[in-house]
């Protein structure tokens, strides 16, 4: 299978002294304070639950010690939704990608508090994880909840949901596997709907014509505190669920 072409570098040629041009990324490594509890979780639970990034396919059975559906979550933030979903779906395994250390520590802390065994973490760029650690048709589902909307027009190229990325993502889904996105920024929701609908190997799982292609929030996705506050203020949240077509 030919890999889809991902976003090109920001510059056509490298500047003097730079080996490779800078690649457009959908995230910025923000400085954040890691609490004592998060740091303790990183030390005590990190060796068991954080997987090192390696540029070769993951063996989920070896990692989780069983055969089970595998769900990838991209950008889990502080991990509360991840922990709640994993707790409510114990027969599935969850692999979370997050680059920010406080978020990794926070999820590890919840893993310990809830005694979860079906979650693992890769602290690395999700695009490279998809390219190198996930084999074609290995995933049963993908969760992408509230990715950075990059509000300014000049930053739209940084948005994660772009045609090349969706093509890569789709290649990693099993037939019938799903991708579930959620956002509270309507212009990004509209772009997500357009991009996902244009991928020929995906089909919109929403069958309610009154929702305009969007899906009602599934019961497994817990609303975040930020989302609940926004809903009280009249702000919208849009869920999109697409499935890979059977071949």
Is residue 19's pLDDT more than 60?
A: no
> How confident is the model at residue 151, as a pLDDT?
73
Give which of 163, 169, 181 is closest to 127, Cα–Cα: 169
Is residue 178's pLDDT more than 80?
A: yes
Is residue 54's pLDDT more than 80?
A: yes
Q: Which two tokens stand for residue 23?
A: 């690649």
> How confident is the model at residue 225, as a pLDDT?
78
Is residue 31's pLDDT more than 70?
A: no
Residues 58-106: tens digit of each pLDDT = 999 999 999 999 999 999 999 999 999 999 999 999 999 999 999 999 9
- Per-chain mean pLDDT for the chain: 88
Is residue 200's pLDDT more than 80?
A: yes
Residues 204-247: tens digit of each pLDDT = 999 888 999 999 999 999 998 778 877 888 889 999 999 999 97
Residues 1-12: tens digit of each pLDDT = 444 445 443 333
SS3 179: strand
Q: What share of the chain is helix, strand, coil (3-state, %, to 5)?
A: 35, 20, 45
- Which fold, 70-244? Rossmann fold (3.40.50)
Per domain, the residue ranges of the chain are 70-244
Q: Where are the alpha helices (DSSP H) in 141-236?
A: 163-172, 186-198, 225-232
Catalytic annotation, residues = 148
SS3 181: strand
Is residue 23's pLDDT more than 70?
A: no
């Amino acid at each position: 299978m030919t890999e889809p072409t991902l976003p090109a570098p920001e510059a056509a040629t490298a500047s003097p002294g730079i080996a490779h041009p800078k690649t457009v990324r959908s995230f910025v490594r923000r400085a954040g304070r890691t609490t004592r509890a998060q740091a303790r979780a990183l030390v005590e639970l990190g060796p068991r639950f954080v997987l090192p990034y390696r540029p070769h396919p993951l063996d989920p059975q070896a990692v989780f010690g069983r055969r089970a559906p595998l769900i990838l979550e991209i950008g889990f933030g502080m991990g509360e939704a991840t922990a709640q979903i994993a707790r409510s779906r114990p027969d599935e395994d969850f692999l979370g990608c997050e680059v920010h250390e406080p978020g990794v520590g926070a999820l590890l802390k919840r893993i310990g508090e809830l005694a979860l065994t079906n979650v693992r973490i890769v602290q690395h760029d999700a695009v490279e994880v998809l390219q190198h650690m996930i084999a074609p048709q290995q995933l049963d589902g993908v969760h992408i909840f509230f990715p950075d909307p990059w509000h300014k027009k000049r930053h739209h190229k940084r948005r994660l949901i772009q045609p090349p990325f969706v093509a890569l993502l789709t290649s990693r889904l099993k037939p019938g596997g799903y991708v579930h996105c959620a956002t509270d920024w309507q212009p990004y929701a509209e772009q997500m709907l357009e991009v996902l609908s244009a991928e020929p190997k995906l089909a919109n799982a929403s069958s309610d014509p009154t929702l305009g292609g969007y899906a009602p929030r599934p019961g497994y996705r817990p609303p975040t505190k930020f989302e609940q506050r926004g809903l009280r203020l009249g702000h919208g949240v849009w869920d999109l669920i697409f499935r890979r077509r059977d071949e």
